[in-house]
Amino acid sequence: MSSTSQSLFENELFEHFRILIDPKQGPIRIDKFLIEKITDLTRTQIQDFIKSGWITVNLEKVKPNYKVKPNDEILVLMPEPQKEQQIFPENIPLDIRFEDQELLIVHKPAGMVVHPAYKNWSGTLVNALLWHFRNLPEMPGNKGRPGLVHRIDKDTSGLLVIAKSEKAMKSLTKQFYEHSIERTYYALVWGEPVPAKGTIDVNLGRSFKDRRLTIAFPKGDFGRRAVTHYKTLQTFRYVSLIQCSLETGRTHQIRAHMKYIGHPIFNDSTYGGDQILKGTLYTKYKQFVQNCFKIMPRHALHAKTLGFMNPRTERILKLDSEVPMDFKEVLAKWKRYVNYIED
């Protein structure tokens, strides 16, 4: 037994993560690598763990600037064993838009978290699914998230497909992996994108400074490839209604991409859209925008359509959903505002 493994044993550390590096992985600092893999730790915490010997490579201590190599095995240990949080079924109504023996499509309201996590162990879509359905399948490595093959953010409204069988789980997972599933979103953004129709093909990854943020890496030296196609549907002088189609599905993809091109989503507090970014300095205009923020106290993003091959019929199934009332009211207010100032 090596001195490192012996000391780990004596200190009674518990394994939390074991990561085998892909044979094709290029050289990257271990702290930068792990910040993408372990969402609950900051970069400073990861560096402290490395210095303490709680994070090892091939059972040996390394420094935070160590560059991972193909086939390395990273072990992340902590003083406390992992605590499994039990997830309970809850009688929460589901807005089901389609259902057959293999799957269902639900409309998730804004404000509902998709799956339980830290500080959100109840009131989620998964809690509701456990109440209404039994024996939903789980994706390998996705324990505690029955039926889920994708997700949308808490404050994003719209359509989600849920697998009811192993057959559906495998088929849908494959379709998502192959980017063959059609997903379109409606978003209200600040300004008018130029050109009015385009593609954003820029890597996205977690911010080193703030783990809650997804940021763009235009040089492609970090993060993962992310592709968003957009087109402007209507402009209202200072804001625009756009349609976004996803080719990939990264965390906060549309929100981060729109921020990157200078058009944050309206009232997106995470990416700066909750400030008045376009318009006049008049008090009445500021009051108008603040009133819109109150009507829609969330980012203006809606998962509108979902299309894929139904595993049961092997035919394309496509559903569309209307934007919710708060979104409609804000759009109506902007239309009235533009008509008023142009009269």
Return the H-helix or E-strand segment holding 216.
Answer: strand 214-217
CA 200 to chain CA centroid, nearest Å: 17
Tell me if residue 153 is catalytic.
yes
Distances, alpha carbon 70 to alpha carbons 24, 53, 116, 144, 194, in Å: 6, 21, 33, 30, 42
Distances, alpha carbon 43 to alpha carbons 17, 37, 73, 118, 177, in Å: 16, 11, 19, 19, 29
Residues 6+ apart with CB under 8 A from 336: none
Q: E strands of 47-195, at which residues?
A: 55-57, 60-61, 67-68, 73-78, 96-99, 103-108, 157-163, 182-190
Please answer whether residues 102 and 310 qualify as being in contact, where contact means their C-beta atoms are separated by less than 8 angstroms: yes
Token pair listed for 14: 């518990």
Instruction: Give 296's Cβ-side CA count (13 Å radius).
Output: 32
Amino acid at 234: Q
Token pair listed for 269: 């507090």
Helix axes 283-295, 325-342, angle to 10 degrees: 160
Token pair listed for 23: 């044979």
- Alpha helices of 11-145 — where are they, by DSSP H? 30-37, 43-52, 125-132
95 DSSP 8-state letter: -
Q: E strands of 174-279, at which residues?
A: 182-190, 197-201, 203-206, 214-217, 227-235, 239-246
Among 31, 40, 100, 153, the active-site one is 153
Residues that are catalytic: 153
